[in-house]
Structure 1
Amino acid sequence: MKLAPHLHRIGNDIVAAYLIVADDGITVIDAGLPGHAKDLERELADLGRTPADIRGLVLTHGDSDHIGFAESLRREHGVPVYVHAADAHRARTGEKPKVATGPMRLGPTIGFFWYALRKRAVPTRYVTEVTEVHDGDVLDLPGAPAIIGMPGHSPGSIAVHSPLADAVFVGDALTTRHVLTGRPGPQPAPFTDDPAAASASLDRLAGLRASWVLPGHGAPWRGSPADVAAAVRAAA
């Protein structure tokens, strides 16, 4: 789905991934679930592009519902996969601490896990080889994605800022639809390792200039990063 001239989304408000589309190629942000590979193929075809045009895949963190087709894209098409050094082990193995899930409602929770099964979430295919990135890096990829450390949801959670796309991709640093309650609007994401650190990391968004804030779960936010950060804090 086209959001803006250089910005496309695959998936939906349950789980989403994004494409930065430039003249010199495509950068993919997050890899959703394995079944989203078909969505990626369709989006590329609509653009008149192929997987050969993908120069890199940047993961906002290493959780299973963000690494879905990363390994197949790496193995089958040679696309490098970038992840923050602090989440590299998680992306390669799935090892992570157990955290409280927080509030849940039966319907949305069942809907989330049913959607994940439909998109072949089980078994998870972890990423064998990753390229580690760090806070402050600007990657030599289409859209010049800049890495902003956002620890909290996981130690290596990041936001990715692309001036070309006029967007900041935030992964699970926040959500605009709680996958376990169905509650819409900006709010903290569930399954967060360190909620206090995640709240503090929202300060990193305030100084960014972008017209889009794009979470891994929920509707795209059309507005400033500072405004969405304030809304998340107000909802906490």
Structure 2
Amino acid sequence: MKIEDGLHLVLSGGAGFDLSDAFDCNVFMIAAGDTWLLFDAGAGRAPDRFAEILAGDGIDPGSVGHLFLTHGHADHSGGAAALRERFGLRTYAGAATAKMVSGGDTAGISLERAIEGGVYPADYRYRACPIDTVVETANPLQFGPVTVEMIETPGHSFDHVSYLVTTPTRRILVGGDALFCGGKVAIQDIYDCNIGAVCSTVRTLAARDFDTLLPGHLNFSLSDARRHADAAMEYVVRFACPPSIIA
């Protein structure tokens, strides 16, 4: 689904735009010169759907070169192995995510807990995926005219990172599950979800300059997106946690 020149939504499930498999997160693609950067990978239950959407958007699959993961939860990383194999993508993640995803650590990404809670079907199977580059906060990556800077944003999970993507026309926060429109967050009953860290991440993001918010679920925001971080901060400054999208 083309949003504008150089920005596409290529997977999105039931907690988004029903573009692909119901268990997929929002997966965005950003143009970087003659290549495309992909952010998150969906759950991997319908790998052919990605190619179908690219074809519908008129994008050459061979031009998609790089896949960044925000965290290890299956709706964000479960499709990474299939996409890497089929399209020859280079994969990127923070150190903690890289260790779990490459090792197929389903306990670390709380998959068993999520299946027990009905988040995924009982027959869901996770595939490990090699991570080619471990991204560091101190080392932004350059792809033609586009810069990708990793920001550590734990809370939803201990390994969570976000990406600040600077293009010639936008400063985009690819927020994964760290921040959502309306100043909401994502809190759930898993071992590494930490409310104190959620609030600390809100402070971190509210201090950054961005105009576009691309979250892992629900709607996205193309202008004045800092207002969503400011809305979350209204709770944090009162020693409260912002509301969760998970009810």
Q: Name the stretch that deviates more: 17-26 or 205-214.
A: 205-214
Report the number of matched residues: 214
Contact kept, 8 Å, 1:21 with 1:27, in 2: the verdict is yes
The residue that corresponds to 1:171 in the other structure is 176
**Aligned partners of 1:16 and 1:195: how far apart in 2?**
23
Deviation at residue 50 of structure 1 after TM alignment: 2.9
Instruction: State the AA in 2 paired with 1:90.
Output: M
Q: Which of residues 136, 160, 164 is equivalent to 1:161?
A: 164
Identity, in percent, stands at: 25
The residue that corresponds to 2:108 in the other structure is 96
The residue that corresponds to 1:147 in the other structure is 150
The residue that corresponds to 1:65 in the other structure is 75
The residue that corresponds to 2:29 in the other structure is 19
Deviation at residue 44 of structure 1 after TM alignment: 1.8
Deviation at residue 158 of structure 1 after TM alignment: 1.3
Q: Which of residues 38, 43, 60 is equivalent to 2:48?
A: 38
The residue that corresponds to 2:64 in the other structure is 54
3-state secondary structure, aligned to 2:81: helix
**Aligned partners of 1:131 and 1:216: how far apart in 2?**
22
Instruction: State the AA in 1 paired with 2:178.
Output: A
Instruction: State the AA in 1 paired with 2:12.
Output: G
3-state secondary structure, aligned to 1:202: helix
Structure 2: give runs of 5+ residues left out of the alignment.
Answer: 16-24, 236-241
Contact kept, 8 Å, 2:211 with 2:226, in 1: the verdict is no
Instruction: State the AA in 2 paired with 1:95.
Output: A
**1:39/1:224 Cα in 2 relative to 1: closer, same or farther (>3 Å)?**
farther
Contact kept, 8 Å, 1:87 with 1:154, in 2: the verdict is no
Task: Say if 2:38 is the partner of 1:28.
Answer: yes
Question: Relative CO higher for 1 or 2, CA cutoff 8 Å, sep ≥ 6?
Answer: 1
Contact kept, 8 Å, 1:207 with 1:226, in 2: the verdict is no
**1:145/1:6 Cα in 2 relative to 1: closer, same or farther (>3 Å)?**
same
**1:135/1:22 Cα in 2 relative to 1: closer, same or farther (>3 Å)?**
closer
> Scaled by the length of structure 1, what TM-score is found?
0.78
Task: Say if 2:133 is the partner of 1:134.
Answer: no
Deviation at residue 23 of structure 1 after TM alignment: 3.3
**Aligned partners of 1:121 and 1:26: how far apart in 2?**
32
The residue that corresponds to 1:188 in the other structure is 185
Instruction: State the AA in 2 paired with 1:69.
Output: G
**Aligned partners of 2:155 and 2:36: how far apart in 1?**
28
The residue that corresponds to 1:230 in the other structure is 230
Deviation at residue 28 of structure 1 after TM alignment: 0.2
Deviations 1:64-92 (A, max 9, x none): 11012211122233211111012222223
Deviation at residue 149 of structure 1 after TM alignment: 1.3
Deviation at residue 97 of structure 1 after TM alignment: 7.3
Report matched runs for 1:99-110 at 5 Å. Answer: none
**Aligned partners of 1:193 and 1:62: how far apart in 2?**
13
Deviation at residue 189 of structure 1 after TM alignment: 0.3
Contact kept, 8 Å, 1:63 with 1:90, in 2: the verdict is no
Structure 1: give runs of 5+ residues left out of the alignment.
Answer: 102-108, 177-184
Deviations 1:152-209 (A, max 9, x none): 2223311111122542110011234xxxxxxxx4312033622211211122222433
Instruction: State the AA in 2 paired with 1:148.
Output: I
**1:25/1:47 Cα in 2 relative to 1: closer, same or farther (>3 Å)?**
farther
> Scaled by the length of structure 2, what TM-score is found?
0.75
